[in-house]
């Protein structure tokens, strides 16, 4: 990328679009120049305390339950190194590269606020790894989301000490090899720096942001597939009348109804079944209640997005260095309850997208409701058509019911009961990957089924936006005329959903209020 593509990290002022760019596009990053003087001031406060006789948690004491243990000045660097070694206890598969990029970026931005007491060169080193695409290998599991994401962040910053391994262009290297490629040398941590690096909610926040950004695409695509279903079964457009939603007053519902009107506007197919010949008095809920359900989903996505944007801009380590007064104070900003609850919101919202889409698939294959050939195939019996594709959608929707169980209501005390209530935010956010993957596949199956249903009404055409959607669906997957190996089709249409191949067909500001 050219220098003009560089994203300047403004500590405390990252937008969702900035974070989305980091996740999807990996632009080069640099920290805003104005962050450096404040970081230097906060570091000077830590150095003063480290050289003095006052006991201050995190600087010259043990950690957690061992906070009462005073550490001699000569052992402070060893203390920080031991902290990283002992806390790097993660297990499981490595986190995906886009998530690791978000972790590095948000940790650098948080430290750049100047309330953590680390040297500026430490932040520069994190950004150097990011810009060189030398990404720490961070195991997915091992954090309860309080006293911060200790284990995964220890794996992240351990690389700076020559500990652990990195991903570099698809290759796994030792930490030292990665540092050499990035033009860095091992760093000896000073007082408080290790604690500042591993305290914080950056891992759970990054995982939740990744879930948010994937849900955004499935949400938009599900609005298209829902509108396509309306046309496939010659459903009514009247439930999208703005007067219905205005009488309720829910913002998301009103916006979603407007989107359906725009997607369905100018449909010759709809005009063809108006009047006395139309036998549809009321459509099933999965069709006519789409503004109500998907509007509620939209409201939840926006609320979660607002929480995660705030969290990504916050300082969540402990203790905090207050430059204006010279104080170092302990608190609990590392407790990730806001992230856990936001992730739970997203899990429920995403699962409802899939649940509603699955019901529409079931409707489409049921000829007694849809009026279409059984299982959407011209010679049912000889061909099974979409029978088992729906079973797949049902399996995924059912799986999401379990995955969406709130994680934030659970807690297990840790650290000899010093950390006696924890958020479980890291799991709450991590399971979003499975949920949104299931939703993308359900919506993909619906796209194929709805396009198939619509084509039974040819030569009648639908609205321009719907016809554009069908063209793109058919560019990815041909029409299902007779039974064939179906799995590659489901994979291809699922990829179309994941890549946002239909989201430009509608216009909605998912960040409104966020």
Whether the CB-CB separation of 432 and 346 falls below 8 Å is answered with yes
Query: Rounded distance, CA 257 to CA 291, Å?
Result: 5
Distance CA 404, CA 349 (A): 9
The reported pLDDT for the residue numbered 4 is 52
- 230 and 91 share a domain? no
Q: Which residue has the tokens 């998530």?
A: 99
Report angle CA 134, 140, 141 to the nearest 5 degrees.
145
* Any domain includes 331: no
What does the DSSP 8-state code read for residue 175? H
Residues 232 and 154 in one domain: no
- CATH code, domain with 88: 1.10.275.10
Task: Report the Cα–Cα distance between both ends of the chain, in Å, rounded.
Answer: 29
Q: Determine, yes or no, domain membership for 146.
A: yes
Same domain, 215 and 192: no
Q: How many domains does the chain have?
A: 2
Q: What is the pLDDT of residue 277?
A: 56
Domain match, 138 and 218 both:
no
Residue 478 lies in a domain: yes
510 phi, psi to nearest 5 deg:
-75, -10
| From 57, 130, 285, 485, active-site residue | 57
Is residue 332 domain-resident? no
Kindly state whether residues 35 and 176 are assigned to the same domain: yes
Residues 100 and 152 in one domain: yes
In terms of domains, do 163 and 221 share one? no
Q: Which pLDDT score, from 0 to 100, does residue 2 have?
A: 44
| 215 and 177 together in one domain | no
For residue 321, being part of any structural domain is answered with no
Q: Quick one: DSSP state of residue 91?
A: E
Q: Is position 513 within any domain?
A: no
> How far, in Å, CA of 270 to CA of 230, rounded?
9
Q: Determine contact, residues 405/444, Cβ cutoff 8 Å.
A: no
Looking at the fold, whether 111 and 260 belong to one and the same domain comes out as: no
Are residues 253 and 193 part of one domain?
no
Question: Domain range spanning residue 267?
Answer: 208-313+344-505
- Domain end call among 146, 176, 200: 200
| pLDDT value of position 3 | 46
pTM (2 decimals)?
0.95
> What CATH number is attached to the domain comprising 496?
1.20.200.10
Which of 200, 229, 264 is a domain's end point? 200
Segments in the chain below pLDDT 50 = 1-3
CA nearest 259: which of 502, 21, 16, 443?
502
Do 116 and 163 have their domain in common? Answer: yes
Q: Is 36 exposed, middle or buried (0-12, 13-18, 19+ CB in 10 A)?
A: middle
C-alpha distances (whole Å) from 10 to each of 18, 92, 314 are: 10, 33, 12
**Shared-domain flag, residues 185 and 253:** no
Q: From 143, 166, 200, give the residue that closes a domain.
A: 200
Residue 485 annotated to the active site: no
Tokens of 173: 């290297």
Indicate the helix (H) or strand (E) that contains 9: strand 7-9
Write the pLDDT tens digit of every residue in 152-167.
Answer: 999 999 999 999 999 9
Q: Say if residues 187 and 161 touch (Cβ distance below 8 Å).
A: yes
Angle formed by the axes of helices 202-232 and 337-365, to 10°?
Answer: 20
Residue 47 falls within a domain, yes or no? yes
- Cβ atoms of residues 196 and 317 within 8 Å: yes
Query: Tell me, what DSSP letter sits at residue 146?
Result: S
DSSP 298-356: HHHHHHHHHHHHHHHHS---SSEEETTTTEEE---TT--HHHHHHHHHHHHHHHHHHHH
Q: Are 329 and 319 in contact (CB under 8 A)?
A: yes
Backbone angles phi, psi at 166, to 5 degrees: -135, 160
Q: Helix, strand, or coil here: 246? A: helix
Residue 330 lies in a domain: no
């Amino acid at each position: 990328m050219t220098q003009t593509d560089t994203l300047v990290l403004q500590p405390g002022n990252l937008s969702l679009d900035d974070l989305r760019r980091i996740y999807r596009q990996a632009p080069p990053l640099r920290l805003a120049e104005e962050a450096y003087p404040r970081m230097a001031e906060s570091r000077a406060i830590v150095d003063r305390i480290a050289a003095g006789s006052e006991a201050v948690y995190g600087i010259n004491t043990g950690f957690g339950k061992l906070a009462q243990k005073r550490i001699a000045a000569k052992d402070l660097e060893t203390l920080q190194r031991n902290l990283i070694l002992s806390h790097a206890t993660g297990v499981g598969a490595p986190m995906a590269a886009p998530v690791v990029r978000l972790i590095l970026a948000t940790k650098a931005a948080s430290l750049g606020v100047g309330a953590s007491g680390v040297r500026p060169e430490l932040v520069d080193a994190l950004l150097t790894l990011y810009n060189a695409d030398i990404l720490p290998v961070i195991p997915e599991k091992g954090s309860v989301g309080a006293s911060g994401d200790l284990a995964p962040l220890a794996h992240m910053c351990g690389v700076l000490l020559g500990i652990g391994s990195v991903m570099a262009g698809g290759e796994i290297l030792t930490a030292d090899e990665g540092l050499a490629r990035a033009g860095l040398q091992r760093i000896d941590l000073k007082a408080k720096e290790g604690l500042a690096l591993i305290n914080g909610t950056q891992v759970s926040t990054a995982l939740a942001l990744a879930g948010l950004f994937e849900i955004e695409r499935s949400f938009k695509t599900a609005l298209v597939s829902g509108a396509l279903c309306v046309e496939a079964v010659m459903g009514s457009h009247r439930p999208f009348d703005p007067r219905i939603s205005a009488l309720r007053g829910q913002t998301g519902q009103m916006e979603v109804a407007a989107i359906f009107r725009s997607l369905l506007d100018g449909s010759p197919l709809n005009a063809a079944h108006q009047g006395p010949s139309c036998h549809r008095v009321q459509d099933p809920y999965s069709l006519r209640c789409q503004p109500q359900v998907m509007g509620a989903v939209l409201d939840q996505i926006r609320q979660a997005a607002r929480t995660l944007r705030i969290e990504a801009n916050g300082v969540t380590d402990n203790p905090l260095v207050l430059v204006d007064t010279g104080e170092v104070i302990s608190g609990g900003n590392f407790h990730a309850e806001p992230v856990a609850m936001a992730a739970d919101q997203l899990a429920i919202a995403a699962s409802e997208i899939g649940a509603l889409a699955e019901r529409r698939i079931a409707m489409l294959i049921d000829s007694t409701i849809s009026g279409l050939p059984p299982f959407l195939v011209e010679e049912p019996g000889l061909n099974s058509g979409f029978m088992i594709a729906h079973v797949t959608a049902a399996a995924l929707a059912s799986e999401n019911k379990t995955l969406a169980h709130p994680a934030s209501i659970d807690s297990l005390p840790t650290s000899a009961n010093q950390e006696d209530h924890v958020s479980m935010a890291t799991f709450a956010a991590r399971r979003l990957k499975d949920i949104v993957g299931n939703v993308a596949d359900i919506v993909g199956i619906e796209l194929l089924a709805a396009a198939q249903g619509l084509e039974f009404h040819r030569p009648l055409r639908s609205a321009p936006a719907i016809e554009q959607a069908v063209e793109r669906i058919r560019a990815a997957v041909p029409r299902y005329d007779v039974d064939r190996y179906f799995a590659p089709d489901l994979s291809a249409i699922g990829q179309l959903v994941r890549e946002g191949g239909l989201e430009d067909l509608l216009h909605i500001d998912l960040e409104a209020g966020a």
